[in-house]
Structure 1
Amino acid sequence: MCRIAWLFLCLLMGLKFSVSYAEDRRVLFRIDGEETSVEEFEHYYTQVYAVSRVSVERFLPHFLYYKLKVADAKRQSWDTITDFRLQCSALQNEILKSEERGMSQKQDTLLNWVRFRQISFLLPQHASSEQERVARQRIDSVYTALKNGIPFEKLAQSYVKAPLPSPYLDGEWIPERCLIKEFTGQLNTLKKGNYSAPFFSPLGIHIVYLLDRRQGVYPSETTGNAALQKVADSGFTERKDSLLNKTRMELCQVSDGLLAAYWDKRHGGTKSGNISDKELQSYFESHKNDYAWDLPHFKGGVIHCLNKKVASKLKKRLKKCPLNKWNEEISAFSQENPEWKVVVETGLFQIGTNPYVDKLAFKCGHFTPRTDLPYAFVLGKRLKKGPEDFQDVRNEVQRDYRLWTERTQMEELKRGFRIEINQDILKTVNCSGKK
């Protein structure tokens, strides 16, 4: 998640305004009695439609899944965590600047800012002594590894899939006043490039690594309700009503977005970057028939060179070399023999997409040799029925695995809530994505 997106998500967590801000609105669905209006759905749908042109019917399950994550986060009271509330309180003016433009602002305050990384292990609010012992044992192992010279970055990557109890985004500038006192106390004792000893907080047990610190200004805090009141107190009734409506909608989106993002983090996330090769390979093996091909493919490469003599030398070097190392090997070959130019194309070629592959691998069609590199040959294998492993169709497997994970998580969430969907109201949604 980019820095600006994260800031926007963090701004209004913990606000206690009601989503039900218009008594006469139409209700699209309820989750355990909490209503989601058609107006809110359209607010999200308009943004998505502008990019993807997805239909209302296809967007609804994704939106429902999103709102179920929000409901589950609220049920576990993540929206009441102290450091969430502090951080959002300090950052609220970022999203309210446009709404408050032209209104009087309090004088900017000089703040201490820090950038840090962390390795954290979650502990429930009322952790048992056994849970604390296990967490302490794990963090002590990390601390020992750090003292033995293993870089903090490398260790942090080992625990990237562990559910982090802290909302602080690693490596981003954060005002010290937004941190709970346990974090501030540790960071204030560190010099840049140093890490702390393990310490407990209300969230769990942690080690922090100080990247940098500085002083800078940040607008004085304004609560979300106070900001809304400023808009409400402004003149021009028509503009005021429109601005209030827009502001409330954006505040709801920001608050819910943070909760959903935190839910994803606590549940391992579903982005392709968080999926291991082992998980993808396992999913591929279980769904191999889904990736069968209608047309044969060739896995390997096309090499263009000067003559048969150069080709013979290249074949010897590449024959036992993995495909993903070909470019390195050919680069080394070119440095050793600068007078022999070589060009290579590697990948997965469907029949009919490359004239050299069609002629040399599938024995059909024809090609016109390059004038500068007239000799061409192929190395690799023909795959008639489908890919050998998930790497051959990695993007497709990542996409399908992510969707499968989302469906599985959504079904689990559905079992924990009472859901009522008004299908008749759904038909009234503006399908053009325009209002």
Structure 2
Amino acid sequence: MRRILLWCVYLLMGACLSAHAEEREVVFRIDGKATSVKEFEHYYARIHAVNGISAEHFLPHFLYYKLKVADARKKGWDTLPDFRLQCNVLQGELGKAKGAKSLQSASMKWVKFRQISILLPQHVSAAQERQARKSMDSVYTALKGGADFEVVARNYPLVEASPYSDGEWIPEVCLVKEFSERLDTLKKNAYSAPFFSPLGIHVVRLLDCKQDVYPNSDDTMAEVVGDSDGEEEWEQTLTDGLLAAYWDKRHIGGPSGSVTDQDLQNYFEAHKKDYAWELPHFKGGVVHCLNKKAASKLKKKLKKLPLGEWAKEVTVASQENPGLKAEVVTGLFQIGSNPYVDKLAFKCGHFTPRTDLPYTFILGKRLKKGPEEFQDVREEVQRDYRLSIEKSQMEALRQNFQIEINQDILKTVNCSGKK
């Protein structure tokens, strides 16, 4: 009896020690699914090498990435036929690269198309299929009668589960065969008859096609090939990356999401005080020309045009009339960044006239307090807008999953990405 008790105690202690050892290898769990310290370090070391971010500051970015992957899996996107095909294509390309230690991508056909689709569940009823066919036949009849494809398409917006984003380049090999077969028969801007696929029923319009390599960047291939040692780890990295990209395409504001200038302008107006400048700026152009007479003529031409067209106008004027030979530099100039602007706009410092174009003038305005529009600080506004969207999306994702973060383990990740 005593032996049995000792054996039970031994087994219990072993189980506890094993569970403790396993927990030391986990940085966080999403709905109970563990993300290992090794995977965290794998990504962290790569990011840290670029910008020196600390493990604590990197955690939200990585957690956001893993939540997107978890959400995509929850929606079943990893089971979509075209997703599995893309994985197979990439695995084949990267497999060849791993074996040959060469990152050369074969050229393949890419297509850009627009679609009108009615997506159907995998186990669709006969009644649902008949109704979908009836609706798509009506669409096809309207198109043949001269209806505008874009106008009709607005009545059939793609739902979140559609794998294809309209108007984006995609390798034809990554389409389900029903799509690729129809697109192969179409001329540019022509549309197909209705057809079924594993996704539903569709009419597609070919916008364009080209030959290109896949993936787009050999650097991306090198990153995946070089960073993933084991086959299982390699495939997970690939699958997770594609799932996160799928998620981004379906959520505005993600890295691949669509952000309009109006979105940025609205954000800028709401946060204008965040972009106030400590030092005054000049918005306009610095023009170097031959003499004052040439300057007068160039000013008249440039005043009628938007700032973005000044360089083109100066080039054309220089080519048409040697007496108007000139060069222009446009943009935003902070005081102290350009000697010509400092002297002519802010009345400080000095400059030495150019020997080839000795007369210099400026055209534009001084901005003392801050930018006039988001275009003046476009990169900063884009960055901040993305971060604000990511933050709201992150909070929404957090509501859908149970997250357990192992803070003690997180503290063991040092600046080199190693424990």
TM-score when scaled to structure 1? 0.72
- Is 1:180 the equivalent of 2:176? yes
- 1:122 is displaced (CA, Å) by 6.1
Q: Could you say if the C-alpha distance between residues 379 and 98 of structure 1 is closer, same or farther in structure 2, counting changes exceeding 3 Å?
A: closer
Give CA deviations for 1:381-415 in whole Å, capped at 9, x if unaligned. 11000000001111111111111111111111111
Structure 1 residue 339 displacement after superposition? 3.4
Amino acid at match of 1:420: E
How far 1:261 sits from its partner (Å)?
Answer: 0.7
What is the CA–CA distance in structure 2 between the aligned matches of 1:203 and 1:323, rounded to whole Å? 48
The letter of the residue matching 2:34 is E
- CA-CA distance at 1:298 after TM superposition: 0.6
What is the DSSP-based 3-state SS (H/G/I as helix, E as strand, rest coil) of the residue aligned with 1:117?
strand
CA deviation digits over 1:222-278, x for unaligned, max 9? Answer: xxxxxxxxxxxxxxxxxxxxx996222221111111111111111135238831111
Taking the aligned partners of 1:57 and 1:34, their CA distance within structure 2 comes to: 21
Say if 1:195 and 1:210, in contact at 8 Å, map to a contact too: no
| Structure 1 position 207 matched with structure 2 position 178 | no
**Which segment is superposed worse, 379-388 or 352-361?**
352-361
- What is residue 334 of structure 1 aligned with on the other side? 318
Paired amino acid for 2:178: E
Q: Does the 8 Å CA contact 2:187/2:206 hold for their aligned counterparts?
A: no
Alignment counterpart, residue 359 of structure 2, candidates 350, 354, 375: 375
Q: Tell me the C-alpha RMSD between the 2 structures.
A: 4.0
> CA offsets per residue over residues 184-223 of structure 1, 9 Å max, x none?
5424644688542344434353405396799xxxxxxxxx
Return the letter of the residue paired with 2:30.
I
Does residue 120 of the first structure (1) align with residue 119 of the second (2)?
A: no
Tell me what 1:384 maps to.
368
Secondary structure (helix, strand or coil) at the match of 1:373 reads coil
Deviation, structure 1 residue 68: 0.5
SS in 2 for 1:303: strand
* In structure 1, distance between residues paired with 2:141 and 2:399: 38
Query: In structure 1, how many angstroms separate the alpha carbons of the residues matched to 2:358 and 2:403?
Result: 67
Q: Secondary structure at the match of 1:431?
A: coil
8 Å Cα contact 1:297-1:383 kept in structure 2 = yes
User: Is 1:197 the equivalent of 2:193?
Assistant: yes
User: Paired residue for 2:306?
Assistant: 322
Q: List aligned pairs for 1:333-352, cutoff 5 A.
A: 333-352=317-336
Q: Residue 164 of structure 1: CA displacement?
A: 7.6
Unaligned runs of 5+ in 2: 1-20, 102-107, 212-226
Counterparts of 2:286 and 2:325 in 1: how far apart (Å)?
A: 14
Distance 1:345 1:171, change over 3 A: closer
Question: What is residue 37 of structure 1 aligned with on the other side?
Answer: 36
* 2:375 partner amino acid: Q
Q: 1:287 to 1:182 in 2, by over 3 A?
A: same
Distance in 1, matches of 2:138 and 2:315, equals 44
Deviation at 1:138, TM superposition (A): 11
In structure 2, the CA distance between the partners of 1:391 and 1:173, relative to structure 1 (3 Å rule), is closer
Question: In terms of mean alpha carbon deviation, does 393-402 or 338-347 score higher?
Answer: 338-347
Cα deviation for residue 375 of structure 1 reads 1.5
Residue 71 to residue 335, structure 1, CA distance change in 2 (3 Å): same
Q: Counterpart amino acid of 1:165?
A: S
> Do the aligned partners of 2:72 and 2:78 also contact (CA within 8 Å) in 1?
yes
Aligned-residue sequence identity (percent) comes to: 58
Q: Which runs of 5+ in 1 are unaligned?
A: 1-21, 103-112, 215-242
CA separation in 2, counterparts of 1:416 and 1:119?
Answer: 32
Larger mean Cα displacement after TM superposition, 33-42 or 272-281: 272-281
Return closer, same or farther for 1:115/1:34 CA change in 2, 3 Å cut-off. same
Change (3 A) 1:384 1:170: closer
The residue aligned with 1:413 is: 397
- Rounded Cα–Cα distance in structure 1 between residues aligned with 2:111 and 2:118: 21
**Distance (whole Å) between structure 2 residues aligned to residue 141 and residue 383 of structure 1:** 57
- Cα distance in structure 1, aligned partners of 2:69 and 2:321: 61
Q: How many residue pairs were aligned?
A: 367
Match of 1:394 in 2: 378
* Residues 273, 423 of structure 1: alpha-carbon distance in 2 compared, 3 angstrom cutoff: closer
SS, match of residue 250 in structure 1:
helix
- Structure 2 SS opposite 1:92: helix
How has the CA–CA distance of structure 1 residues 314 and 427 changed in structure 2, closer, same or farther, with 3 Å as cutoff?
A: same
Q: Which residue of 1 aligns with 2:285?
A: 301
C-alpha distance in 1 between matches for 2:344 and 2:141? 56
Equivalent position SS for 1:321: coil
Deviations 1:31-78 (A, max 9, x none): 111111111111111222222222111111010000101111111111
TM-score (norm 2): 0.75
The CA distance in 2 between the partners of 1:254 and 1:184, in whole Å, is: 24
> Which SS does the other structure have where 1:301 is aligned?
strand
**1:251 matched residue in structure 2:** 235
The answer to whether 1:49 aligns with 2:33 is: no
Letter in 1 for 2:82: D
- Matching residue of 2:92: 93
Post-superposition Cα deviations, 1:124-170, rounded to whole Å, max 9, x if no partner, equal 544989x969995997699579x7899x9xx99xx999868235995
Instruction: Tell me, yes or no, if structure 1 residue 365 matches structure 2 residue 364.
Output: no
211 and 362 in structure 1: CA distance in 2 versus 1, 3 angstrom threshold: closer
Distance 2:295 2:138 in 1: 55
C-alpha distance in structure 2 between counterparts of 1:282 and 1:181, whole Å: 42
Counterpart-to-counterpart distance in 1, 2:343 and 2:144: 60
SS at match of 1:369: coil
Deviates more, 1:30-39 or 1:268-277: 268-277
Q: Which amino acid aligns with 2:340?
A: Y
- Separation in structure 2 between the aligned mates of residue 206 and residue 172 of structure 1, nearest angstrom: 17
Distance 1:350 1:164, change over 3 A: farther
Please give the residue correspondences for 1:144-183 in structure 2 after superposition, counting only pairs within 5 Å.
165-166=162-163, 171-175=169-173, 179-183=175-179
How far apart are the structure 2 equivalents of 1:374 and 1:184? 61
